[in-house]
Amino acid sequence: MLEPEWPTNKDWQKGQSRQEYVNLRFYMLAGFTLTFLGVLLVLNIAKWREIEPALYGLQALNLASLDPILMLPGLLLMGLFGIPGVLKEFVRWRRQRGLVLHIDPVPASPDGELGGRITIPLHLTDQHKVRVTLSCMRRVVTKGKNSSVQDRLLWRTPAVTRQMRSIKGTRIEFVAELSGQQPVTSFEEGKREVWWAVHVEEEVSGFDAVFPVPVSESARTTTSEFRFTERERQQAAEASREPVRSWQQEALPGDGLNIEFPAGRSGKAAGILTLVGLVFTAVAGFMGYKVAQELSSANTSYFALMVQGMILMGFGLFGPALLFGGIYMRLNRLQLEVRPGELVTTRRFMGFSKQRHLAIDDIEGLAERIIGRVGQGVDSELEYAIDAYLKDGMRVRLGDGIEGQHEAEQLLQQLRDKTGIETRTDPDSYKLNRRTPPVWVMWLPAIFKTVSFIIFALTIAAFVFDFL
């Protein structure tokens, strides 16, 4: 039975689910592209008498006399490159506009399982495996000038699937176990807050579809009518198991274990951070050059000097820090040694190293944490870390840069088997002793406000002084 405070969903009431915004996505893309091309085509025809001689001048390679009117045919040409994208979206729309996912139970219990079936309009062979995952996401809405809507992935698990040929294409049946540690479906004032989704994808054909599904604490049924044998579940688990990419391990004497987290394990996140840092640092360097050039000019503009100085200060504060952070993420290495009665961590970066010994008796428990996200929604790629929580309220990093939930859980299981330390799914359940910040940190907001006011006053004064 669906929750009374949820918005009315007739598909869920019938035990099924459909994709959202399939028509809107195609209509918006096609409408925008065709409108853009239509307007530019009309403008090019209306201005053709002026465009034609400008094109002859372009053929003569007379770049010094380029006419701005050439922007019209240039924009029209750019718009033509959007047609393949519209055709691709049209094919996707035709495939997916009538898709219906039949689910059971409705709603699903967070401590149970969710099953379903769907027939996709593709005749796939056994080599084309369809991947089905169940995800839990939280919708984060920011308001103001930079308002945005993001779906942050909280948890994801692969489903056991069965693939059969059908007259209409390929029939897929699946079942996935939920996690009682994750929040259930919730709405706030009719708007989605936490939601669960089934993601069906096939790489070769490019098929990709997402279906929202209900999960409720009050669900009475915990099992699904879609049954799979234990052998099928084991085969699916073995097929989905991939080689570990985030670390290498080797056995040590005395039932010990050495785990190496190599440099470059945080590839995408480190690359993005490094690129942003490089751009910010380059902007700061260019502004520094412009400031020096302005100071050496005969007629110095104090207003321009203040504006360039503010840009230099803003980008100069963040650029080098982001650049260093990206380089650190790419080059640092972490080693974890599991010895009888203790854990030893060693962090190495550009010739520097820091080692820490942790007695197992001093550790209250272990937990995994999400420390990085690339993308959003069901397409998110998560980066995990494993932390040890000490009885004195301190937290120590044991591993990071771990790609995906499966690898994090696998490492956590190994540490639990080797040490006997308990693990918790919720890291916030541990109590941490927060350090009292230094007194000067408390003054930072007041300092920043004072400096901002001084800069604003100097900018106004420089603007006035330029006209005296």
3-state SS, 352-406, equals EEEEEEEEHHHEEEEEEEEEEEECCHHHCEEEEEEEEEECCCCEEEEEEEEECHH
Check whether residue 55 and residue 89 sit in a common domain.
yes
Is the sign of the CA dihedral 277, 279, 280, 282 positive or negative? positive
Summarised one tens digit per residue, pLDDT across range 263-308 is 877 777 788 889 999 999 999 889 888 888 877 877 777 777 778 8
Domain holding 124, by residue range, is 99-240
Which of 30-39, 66-75, 123-132, 396-405 comes out lowest in average pLDDT? 66-75
Task: State percent of the chain over pLDDT 90.
Answer: 21
Structure tokens of 437? 């910040």
Q: Are 206 and 91 in contact (CB under 8 A)?
A: no
State the Cα–Cα distance between residues 411 and 7, nearest whole angstrom.
Answer: 40
State residue 133's pLDDT score.
Answer: 92
Check whether residue 161 and residue 88 sit in a common domain.
no
CA angle, 271 then 273 then 278, to 5° = 95
Check whether residue 153 and residue 175 sit in a common domain.
yes
Summarised one tens digit per residue, pLDDT across range 424-438 is 777 777 777 777 777
Closest CA to 155 of 116, 196, 115: 196
177: domain CATH number is 2.60.40.1930
Looking at 395, 414, 429, the residue that finishes a domain is 429
Strands 169-177 and 113-120: antiparallel
Neighbouring-strand partners of residue 320: none
Helices (H), 297-339: 302-331
Q: Are 263 and 332 in contact (CB under 8 A)?
A: yes
Under the banding of pLDDT at 50, 70 and 90, the label for residue 17 is: very high
Check whether residue 48 and residue 104 sit in a common domain.
no
Looking at 65, 94, 123, the residue that finishes a domain is 94
Q: Are 392 and 358 in contact (CB under 8 A)?
A: no
Cα–chain-centroid distance for residue 70? 40
Judge whether 42 lies within some domain: yes
Q: Are 336 and 387 in contact (CB under 8 A)?
A: no
389: domain CATH number is 2.30.29
Check whether residue 84 and residue 104 sit in a common domain.
no
State residue 232's pLDDT score.
Answer: 79
Structure tokens of 216? 């409720």
Check whether residue 148 and residue 233 sit in a common domain.
yes
Q: Please state, as a whole number, how many other Cβ atoms lie within 10 Å of the Cβ of residue 151.
A: 20
Judge whether 355 lies within some domain: yes
Q: Any residues with CB less than 8 A from the CB of 181 and at least 6 apart, and which? A: 155, 425, 426
Check whether residue 90 and residue 103 sit in a common domain.
no
Check whether residue 420 and residue 343 sit in a common domain.
yes
3-state SS, 408-464, equals HHHHHHHHHHHHCCCEECCHHHCCCCCCCCCHHHHCHHHHHHHHHHHHHHHHHHHHH
Burial 361-389 (b: 16+ CB within 10 A, else e): eebbbbbbbbbbeeeebbebebbbbbbbb
Summarised one tens digit per residue, pLDDT across range 168-190 is 889 999 999 898 888 899 988 77
Residue type, 243: P
Question: What angle, rounded to 10 degrees, do the helices at 48-59 and 71-80 form?
Answer: 90
- φ/ψ of residue 263, rounded to 5: -70, 150
Looking at 240, 266, 282, the residue that finishes a domain is 240
Check whether residue 130 and residue 212 sit in a common domain.
yes
State the Cα–Cα distance between residues 162 and 174, nearest whole angstrom.
Answer: 6
Judge whether 311 lies within some domain: no
State the Cα–Cα distance between residues 286 and 282, nearest whole angstrom.
Answer: 6
Task: State percent of the chain over pLDDT 70.
Answer: 94
pTM score: 0.75
State the Cα–Cα distance between residues 172 and 269, nearest whole angstrom.
Answer: 34
Closest CA to 222 of 104, 134, 118: 104
Check whether residue 85 and residue 123 sit in a common domain.
no
Judge whether 229 lies within some domain: yes
Q: Are 385 and 399 in contact (CB under 8 A)?
A: yes
Indicate whether 59 pLDDT > 70: no
Judge whether 325 lies within some domain: no
Which of 74-78, 163-167, 238-242 comes out lowest in average pLDDT? 238-242
Check whether residue 229 and residue 156 sit in a common domain.
yes
Under the banding of pLDDT at 50, 70 and 90, the label for residue 231 is: confident
Average pLDDT over residues 387-416: 87
Check whether residue 59 and residue 169 sit in a common domain.
no
State residue 252's pLDDT score.
Answer: 82
